[in-house]
Amino acid sequence: MSLKTTDTTNSNKDVSTLPYLDGSSFGHWSLKMKIHLRSRDLLDVCEKKIPEYVSTSQANKWAKASYEAIDIITTRVVEKVFCEVVNEETFANSYLLCNKIIEQYTSKRAVNRGRIWMEWQRFFFDGDLKNYIDDCRKMTMDLESVNIKVPNDLLSFSLLGKLGGDRELHQFVDSLTLNKELIERPDIILTRLQDYASLYKDRNLPSIKNSTALITNIDEPHKIIYFCKYGKHNEKCTSHRKEECWAENPHLRPNRKNKKCKFHQGSAHLSETQALITTQENQTNEMSSLIVDCDATNHMFNFIEPFVSSLKPISLIVTTGDAKSNLLDEGTGTIEIICNN
């Protein structure tokens, strides 16, 4: 029998990296604890009883190793777990202590299996893909620890079915579900998701936490329309100037009650058109209101009297509030377009 002990100071430094056992994720905690104890030649005193026939010196070494293992284990459990597993029998025997922990958290009793299964059912994707993958690995170890056997394909579908996120992630998940060979290996599924999470970070894409669709997607760009509201002009709105903004200057908004046509709400303010008509027969000027039907690509006069009331060519001056669109007329005569900003 060969046992060695290590310095307690160095042990405490290494123990600080081990997780705490809080009643959940026992499989993950147990695996890391075993690796740590094995590196210190302390695993045997936790998994085996002391041999019946040993010398006094060997018995002393065994006891010292057992005490050291107990010290390491009890420092990595929460107070609730400590009270459940440490008693007069286990506080000085690492073998009994470890068996008590196993009995408490990995027994195949219905209540224990039910607790772990319900934790798996309540487990969900919170938006952080890397943390989700780590938690999935812990949960699958817990399922194995209580002998809950889920078919590999169903386990893979369950892992992938909990995922949400953007369109790219959904497409990647769909590609995994259609691969019959991969779906039989949940461990490889998690590895592929880990690779995707690393690629997502390296490409500096938007966070997966934002699961809503982005209107500025690279593949399918959308035009963003900014509006002025709450009595303030939106500086991102480039269709009109601040002094023309209806939100800040409601008195500039045209009265629509007496209009005979419907205006198409575009990116600029619309206003009723005023026409100054001048004929060659007489040089008198007459102001006449002409309504302009505004559409996305054309403007039409619905009042043609100035064009048919005179045999002589006439000059028609039209004033509109949109400085970006040209007005074209059809009829007898000429027209001069003046756009006021």
Residue type at position 152: N
Per residue in 71-128, pLDDT (tens digit) is 999 999 999 889 888 998 898 999 999 998 888 877 666 777 888 888 888 888 888 8
Q: Judge if pTM exceeds 0.85.
A: no
CA 209 to chain centre: 2
Task: Return all residues near 83 (Cβ < 8 A) that are at least 6 apart.
Answer: none
Q: Where are the alpha helices (DSSP H) in the chain?
A: 8-15, 26-39, 44-47, 56-74, 79-85, 94-106, 110-122, 129-145, 152-161, 167-177, 186-202, 305-308
- Provide the mean pLDDT of the chain: 72
Q: How far apart are CA 81 and CA 253, in angstroms?
A: 71
Q: Which residue has the higher pLDDT, 143 or 322?
A: 143
What secondary structure letter does DSSP report for 246?
A: T
- Domain map of the chain by residue range? 8-106, 110-202, 261-339
129 neighbors 90 (Cβ within 8 angstroms): no
Q: Which of 24-38, 63-77, 304-318 has the highest mean pLDDT?
A: 63-77
Buried b (16+ CB within 10 A) or exposed e, 282-294: eeeeeeeebbbeb
Q: How far apart are CA 19 and CA 198, in angstroms?
A: 24
23 neighbors 53 (Cβ within 8 angstroms): no
Query: Phi-psi bin for 25: left (phi > 0), alpha (psi -120 to 50), beta?
Result: left
Q: How far apart are CA 69 and CA 39, in angstroms?
A: 12
Q: How far apart are CA 91 and CA 66, in angstroms?
A: 10
- pLDDT value of position 212: 41
Per residue in 203-224, pLDDT (tens digit) is 444 444 444 444 344 444 456 7
Q: Which of 117-131, 205-219, 294-308, 326-340 has the highest mean pLDDT?
A: 117-131
| Alpha carbon distances (Å) from 251 to 131, 243, 244, 247, 248 | 56, 11, 10, 9, 9
Strands 334-339 and 285-290: unpaired
Examine the pLDDT at 153 and tell me if it is beyond 70.
yes
pLDDT confidence tier of residue 36, bands split at 50, 70 and 90 = very high
